[in-house]
Amino acid sequence: MLQRDICTDALIFDRLHTSGSVCSLENYKATNEPILQYLPGSKERQELDSKLKEYDSKVHEVPICIGDEEIRTKDVRYQVRVS
């Protein structure tokens, strides 16, 4: 385990605050993505419904995965999407 003393901490602090290659967090402002409600008729709900209809209209191959091996067969069957 690496032991640090006050001199090492001071050196690290000095490098972080004087180096031009390290970004400063003083002016950083985190912003979250908007929270979508998916209300009926909303844009996000329409996009979701459209994408679900697209996926429902296609057959998706889902292989059996055992370890790193993917086993596929020509016997493709309908897979129910949970609602």
The region that residue 25 occupies, defined by phi over 0 for left and psi between -120 and 50 for alpha, beta otherwise, is: alpha
Quick one: tokens of 81?
């999407």
- What is the pLDDT at residue 78? 74
More confident residue, 15 or 49: 49
Contact status, residue 56 vs residue 81, Cβ threshold 8 Å: yes
Decide: helix, strand or coil at residue 48.
Answer: helix
Q: Is the pLDDT of residue 71 over 80?
A: yes
Q: Is the pLDDT of residue 39 over 60?
A: yes
Query: Is the full-model pTM beyond 0.95?
Result: no
7 pLDDT band (50/70/90 cuts)? low
Buried b (16+ CB within 10 A) or exposed e, 37-57: eeeeeeeeeeeeeeeeeeeee
